Amino acid sequence: MSREEGSGYRDVPGPADDTGALVSMPEGLERAHPSVPELQARFDEAFLRHEVVAGDEHVVFVAPDRIYPVLEWLKTDPDQAYNFLSDLTAVDFGGGRPIQIVYQLYSIPHRHVLRVKAEVPLTDLEVESVVPIWSAANWLEREVYDMFGVRFRNHPDLRRILMPEVYAEGHPLRKDFPLRGRFSRAEQTRRALAQAPEDYYVPSDFGPGRDFQVVGWQEVGGEPVPVKEVATKGKAPQPSEDGSSGAASGDRTSS
């Protein structure tokens, strides 16, 4: 397809001339979204480019160091009023290209949809947290941090949300993350068996009558193998050869 035949941009990182993205746009479509020209006029130094994907979905790319004031204005300005953060996620295209932070916005009063993106280089994976703007960003930013390694400055509680805090293999949704993990299967099993219950349970889970089963293990043929420890206390009665319950039925004497 030639550039003239395109109906919008292809959503890939970097300038269109470098990526081969389609750059033709139907006449007037760049002005079809009321927020785009106003955002560009107000934040011209932060406004990097505007794309239209899937025919009518408007995407604005903003400098990562200016993402907070741009989003704050989109939320608080009465003419914009993007008071609903539909989603906050990230995209890694691999090949050393920047990671895109994606903010999907919706204005309930004006019924407008706008997607804002910030591209952060792999050498500086950090942007400002937008939790003060939308509280819904709290867990979403934690997920992006957990899966992609992007840090959000001034986040109230930035820690992993899907993987355990002691997870040492990195960030699973990065394109440079091996499909089988960074550790061997044996090392993954060894770490799982050696984990401390305190790392995976909240303090309220500990208490009287809530003893955890800690699986012992030993290495057999270079592989960690669980060791079953048979408890002797409170052992259930075993059936005897004649099918009885094993209770001292033979002790009974007829009267």
Q: Tell me, yes or no, whether 49 lies in a domain.
A: yes
Contact 205, 192 (CB under 8 A): no
Q: 84 with 187, same domain?
A: no
Q: What is the DSSP letter of 242?
A: T
The pTM (predicted TM-score) of the whole model is 0.69
The 3-class SS string of 15-80 reads: CHHHHCCCCCCCCCHHHCCCHHHHHHHHCCCCEEEEEEECCCEEEEEECHHHHHHHHHHHHHCCCC
Q: Is residue 85 part of a domain?
A: yes
pLDDT tens digits along 23-60:
445 555 555 799 999 999 999 999 999 998 888 899 99
Tally of structural domains, the chain = 2
Q: What is the pLDDT of residues 123-174, one digit of tens each?
A: 999 999 999 999 999 999 999 999 999 999 999 999 999 988 878 788 999 9
DSSP 8-class letter at 219: E
- The residue range of the domain holding 202 is 183-229
236 lies in a domain? no
Same domain, 127 and 196: no
Residue 253 included in any domain: no
Positive or negative, the CA dihedral 185, 186, 189, 190 is: negative
Task: With respect to residue 157, please indicate whether it lies within any of the assigned structural domains.
Answer: yes
